[in-house]
């Protein structure tokens, strides 16, 4: 599927002005080479242009030229209705087929059942796409490993080569923010890997959250990571870590860990108010909302920790490094626990979709 021509057809009116502005500005820049007069003209032109757009200039519409946002999501954003972003690496690299596709489609259903609009994000044939079709989700599910695991760093490569990329938390956050989406549901985020003092292996998810205005709802971080160092790094990067109805940092498969979150909030309304306050104050960056796995699906701490350690040992023996680590560990842990970890993983993602929908709804009420 190629989406050529899509943007020209769907561009909002104001974007045509912006394109025209760019063209005229290029021309004047070119003429600047010949005379100071044109430099003056360019200045006047910019002043006139930006005073016209002062009250209705909107970043998002400029970016519409480069990303595809499905109509349902576009309309919801325009009408200030709740939208929840979803990542796609969890589909391609995080879970096996067919559970991955089933889970991704169920996530969308859950979000809709709350009255919010789901927006699963990936790069399809070089087009950052917000709101995948069921066929695209199915394609990523079946051809998972062939799609590139795309973090923000990889976006220009995947886009310019017109490849298909499944987006991680970092890339999904950056594309969601370009579209104007504020809330994003996932399973677990990347963090500081064990042994990072030697390897420097720190997920780009953390850097992205430091810069991008988005709320990521997750079940904490897996103890395949160094949770203590991950928290330290989040603090350094000024990323607020909220515990939803908990004081302890959840550890993905289990509801608690020996670590504390920064602040506990007990309702979606309180979380939405915190987000609104942060961004109204122009304190840029993300917020991590950690939501413990429901009790009935949480795993026995001893069993899961043993499986994680075994998987880590095997990974080190095989010499697996870089962005292959997380997918390898997830698959290995699933095998060691005879699939139990996958069942828990799926349930905690659903649980995060529910909370993310409620937060998105409360956030929209305040805008």
In the complex, the residues that contact ligand PSU under the rule CB under 6 A are 87, 89-90, 94, 168-169, 187-190, 203-205, 222, 323, 326, 330
Tokens 């075994």 found at? 310
* Residue 31 vs 331, nearer CB to Mn ion: 331
Q: Does the annotation count 260 as an active-site position?
A: no
Hey, CA dihedral for 270, 276, 278, 280, is it positive or negative? negative
Q: What's the token pair of residue 212?
A: 């991008």
Catalytic residue among 87, 208, 211, 362: 87
For the CB of residue 116, give the shortest distance to ligand PSU in the complex, in Å.
21
CA distances (Å), 290 to each of 185, 227, 332, 339, 347, in order? 10, 13, 24, 24, 15
In b/e form, how buried is each residue of 103-128, taking b as 16+ CB within 10 angstroms?
A: bbbebbebbeebebbbbbbbbbbbbb
The residue number whose beta carbon is nearest to ligand PSU equals 94
Distance in angstroms (rounded) separating the CA atoms of residues 364 and 65: 25
Of Mn ion, ligand PSU, none, which one sits near residue 152, judging by CB under 5 to 8 A according to partner kind? none
- Residue among 205 and 226 whose Cβ is closer to ligand PSU: 205
> Strand pairing partners for 254?
251
183 or 192, CB closer to Mn ion? 192
* Cβ atoms of residues 319 and 258 within 8 Å: no
Answer with the entry of Mn ion, ligand PSU, none that 204 interacts with (C-beta below 5 to 8 A by kind).
ligand PSU
Residue 201 vs 211, nearer CB to Mn ion: 201
CB of 189 to ligand PSU, least distance (A): 6
Distance of closest approach, residue 192 Cβ to ligand PSU, in angstroms: 10
Pick one of ligand PSU, Mn ion, none as the site partner of residue 87 (Cβ within 5 to 8 A by kind).
ligand PSU
Residues 200-229 that bind Mn ion (CB under 5 A): 201
String of DSSP letters for 148-194 = EEE-GGGHHHHHHTT--EEE-HHHHHHHHHHHT--EEE-S----BBT
- To the nearest whole angstrom, how small is the minimum distance from the Cβ of residue 147 to ligand PSU? 12
Contact of residue 188 among ligand PSU, Mn ion, none (CB under 5-8 Å per partner type): ligand PSU
Of 91 and 261, nearer to ligand PSU (C-beta) is 91
| 222: annotated active-site residue | yes
User: Under rule CB under 5 A, how many of the chain's residues touch Mn ion?
Assistant: 1
| Concatenated DSSP letters of 344-356 | HHHHHHHHHHHHH
Catalytic residue among 149, 182, 222, 334: 222
Partner from Mn ion, ligand PSU, none binding residue 257, C-beta < 5-8 Å depending on class: none
Q: Which is nearer to ligand PSU, 201 or 362 (CB)?
A: 201
Token digits of residue 91: 């589909």
CB of 320 to ligand PSU, least distance (A): 11
94 interface partner picked from ligand PSU, Mn ion, none, CB below 5 to 8 A per type? ligand PSU
Pairing mode of beta strands 287-290, 127-130: unpaired
Positions that interact with Mn ion (CB under 5 A): 201
Q: Which residues are catalytic, by number?
A: 87, 222
């Amino acid at each position: 599927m190629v989406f050529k021509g899509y943007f020209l057809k769907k561009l909002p009116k104001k974007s045509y002005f912006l394109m025209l502005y760019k063209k005229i500005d290029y021309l004047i820049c070119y003429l600047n080479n010949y005379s100071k007069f044109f430099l003056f003209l360019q200045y006047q032109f910019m002043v006139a242009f930006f005073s016209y757009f002062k009250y209705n200039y909107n970043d998002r519409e400029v970016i519409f030229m480069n990303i595809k946002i499905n109509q349902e999501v576009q309309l919801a954003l325009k009408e200030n209705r709740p939208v929840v972003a979803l990542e796609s690496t969890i589909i391609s690299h995080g879970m096996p087929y067919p559970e991955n596709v089933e889970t991704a489609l169920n996530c969308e259903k859950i979000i809709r059942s709350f009255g919010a609009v789901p927006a699963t994000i990936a790069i399809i044939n070089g087009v950052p796409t917000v709101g995948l079709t069921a066929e695209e989700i199915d394609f990523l599910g079946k051809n998972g490993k062939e799609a590139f695991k795309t973090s923000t760093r990889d976006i220009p490569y995947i886009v310019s080569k017109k490849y298909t990329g499944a987006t991680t938390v970092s890339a999904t956050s950056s594309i969601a923010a370009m579209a104007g989406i504020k809330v994003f549901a996932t399973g677990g985020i990347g963090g500081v890997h064990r042994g990072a003092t030697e390897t420097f292996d720190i997920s780009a998810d953390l850097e992205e959250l430091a810069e991008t205005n988005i709320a990521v709802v997750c079940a904490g971080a897996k103890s395949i990571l160094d949770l203590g160092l991950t928290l330290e790094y989040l603090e350094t990067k000024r990323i607020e870590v909220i515990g939803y109805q908990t004081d302890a940092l959840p550890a993905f498969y289990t509801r608690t860990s020996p670590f504390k979150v920064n602040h506990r909030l007990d309702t979606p309304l309180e979380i939405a108010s915190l987000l609104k306050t942060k961004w109204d104050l122009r304190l840029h960056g993300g917020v991590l909302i950690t939501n413990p796995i429901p009790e009935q699906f949480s795993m026995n701490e001893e069993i899961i920790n043993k499986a994680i350690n075994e998987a880590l040992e095997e990974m080190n023996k095989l010499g697996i490094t870089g962005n292959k680590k997380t997918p390898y560990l997830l698959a290995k842990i699933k095998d060691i626990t005879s699939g139990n970890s996958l069942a828990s993983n799926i349930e905690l993602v659903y649980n995060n979709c529910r909370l993310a929908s409620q937060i998105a709804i409360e956030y929209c009420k305040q805008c």
